[in-house]
Structure 1
């Protein structure tokens, strides 16, 4: 099986760039990262096809060994459709976020952060009370 090193290098760059963009707070960058990862996955499927052969149509005189496997091509078409659907959903989210806040950055949930701070404070009080109880037990 021959794998083109150029396709592998392009695939690695697309995956790395896409994952980097997926980790950003901007929804537009997340969309671009998702598109790059989707295209890198399509390249991965193309490189895994194997040898090039004739179309998988049964005719007289064409053996099964000379035909190309149609499964990777079907997987690529499925991946393209899934990428299109998810990117359309992300574009709708970006549009709604822009219309509501004039911003596409994802912010921290203030209530969630406040709850974490309360939990940390309660945990600290619990730890202090257990250490005070152990000190009283040791001093008796």
Structure 2
């Protein structure tokens, strides 16, 4: 199971790097989303994929009597999912606004493009 997930994680990293090296913003954002999923799978796989009992300790014991599942990777992945979703939403809004302002989603064209509404910069404070 872990070997298959390791290969899948490697494929996710490969695809995400390929997409992030693209010139179009949408492909870059898809690469960032896939990279986040690859990291989540990596953390989850590093925490061991075993079928253990839940990490619940009876009241009369200070340590578990049997081997339990590790809850830390699950908590880290859950937190990472929330953070990566909010980061992706921010980047989507930023890319859409840049497209509205410059009229292109090509990163090279954005460097030389003039804003659609040419406004004078503010003069001091």
TM-score by length of 2: 0.76
Query: What does residue range 44-83 of structure 1 map to in structure 2 within 5 Å?
Result: 44-50=42-48, 51-59=50-58, 63=64, 65-83=66-84
Query: 1: distance between equivalents of 2:53 and 2:65?
Result: 10
Residue number in structure 2 paired with 1:116: none
Q: Which runs of 5+ in 2 are unaligned?
A: 113-125
Kindly report which structure 2 residues correspond to 1:1-140, keeping only aligned pairs within 5 A, or say none.
Answer: 4-50=2-48, 51-59=50-58, 63=64, 65-107=66-108, 109-110=111-112
Rounded Cα–Cα distance in structure 1 between residues aligned with 2:65 and 2:107:
52
- Using the TM superposition, name which of 68-77 and 92-101 deviates more: 92-101
Q: Secondary structure at the match of 1:96?
A: helix
Query: Does the C-alpha gap of structure 1 residues 15 and 84 become closer, same or farther in structure 2, counting only changes over 3 Å?
Result: same
Secondary structure of the structure 2 residue equivalent to 1:104:
coil
8 Å contact kept, 2:20–2:31: yes
User: Kindly tell me: are residues 102 and 49 of structure 1, through their superposed partners in 2, closer, same or farther at Cα, counting changes over 3 Å?
Assistant: same
How many residues in Structure 1 have an aligned counterpart in Structure 2?
A: 108
What CA distance in whole angstroms lies between the structure 2 residues aligned with 1:85 and 1:25? Answer: 23
CA 1:37–1:64: 2 relative to 1, 3 Å:
farther
Larger Rg: 1
State the Cα distance separating 1:92 from its structure 2 match: 0.6
Distance 1:38 1:31 in 2: 11
Q: Which moved more, 1:94-103 or 1:59-68?
A: 59-68
Per-residue CA deviations over 1:9-58 (Å, capped at 9, x if unaligned) read 11100000001111112110111001111111111112112233111121
